[in-house]
Copies of this chain bind each other. A is one copy, B any other.
Amino acid sequence: MQSKADGTVGKALAVLELVAGFERPVRFSELQGSSDYPKATLYRLLQTLTKQRMLSYDPDSGTYTLGVRLVCLAHAAWKTSSLAPIARPYMDKLSEKTGETVHLAQLDHAQVIYVDKRNASQPLPMYSEAGKVGPAYCTGVGKAMMAYLPEDQLTDVLVQQSWHRFTDGTLTNEAALRAELVAIRERGHAYDREEHEPGIICVAVPIRNDSGRVLGALSITSSTLRSSLDKLDSFVPLIRDTTNQIARETQNWRFPETKSIA
């Protein structure tokens, strides 16, 4: 059931993911049912993870859930590995100025991961959104990032796309997407023309560092009811300005201190 996972660590993480997949407290037997691991192996893996507090076990109901240590680690991950803490004030400003929903995403493996979100109208349930994943080939942020990927990485990402047709506008093959990527590079930003969800449109601009590497992307999302691509287009200079500022700031960030070695 789970993908190739060499090493004990890989297996343990697969189990973690398995538990995560249930999105609720889960029994041993349920896990066994959706795993190829033999009973004893799965059991020990669960024990190990529990002892390590990556899982927590509720003796009352005999169920496992993801442990708090994970939340702590993620806290640290979010603070250091993602653009989110740097981008935060800029996103605030952007959402304030535009009055639209702002997303910050990063590319991981072949998926888009939303690491932060801002909604001008109401203070959003943010944590519940951060960490969410989406397809790369049919989202504004995904395409914006892919457009500036080096060829070897791009091919890697492309083969992993599902090309599922979410809407009539969805680009469902590599050729179509590649053409789109060229257009994106020409104009410097990407659109989502209701490709993922009907009625939902967005403009996205990649965040790239000095050496051109893609760090993430910012997008402004709206609906066809409230807005239009033309209207969103007017935000582009503002977004690009913001991505540039964020990119600039990441340069300094890399080594805030060069720990003095005694």
Contacts and interface: CB of A to CB of B under 8 A. Distances in A.
Interface string A3-25: 00001111011001100111111
How many copies altogether?
2
Contacts of A20: 73, 76-77, 80
A53 interface: yes
B25 A254 contact: yes
Contact of A109 (B53, B81, B108, B127): B53
A1 interface: no
Nearest to A85: B128
A82 B77 contact: no
Interface in A66-110: 66-82, 84-85, 88, 106, 108-109
A21 B69 CA distance: 13
A39 interface: no
Contacts of A69: 13, 108
A9 B48 contact: yes
Interface stretch (A54-62, A156-164, A166-174, A180-188): A54-62
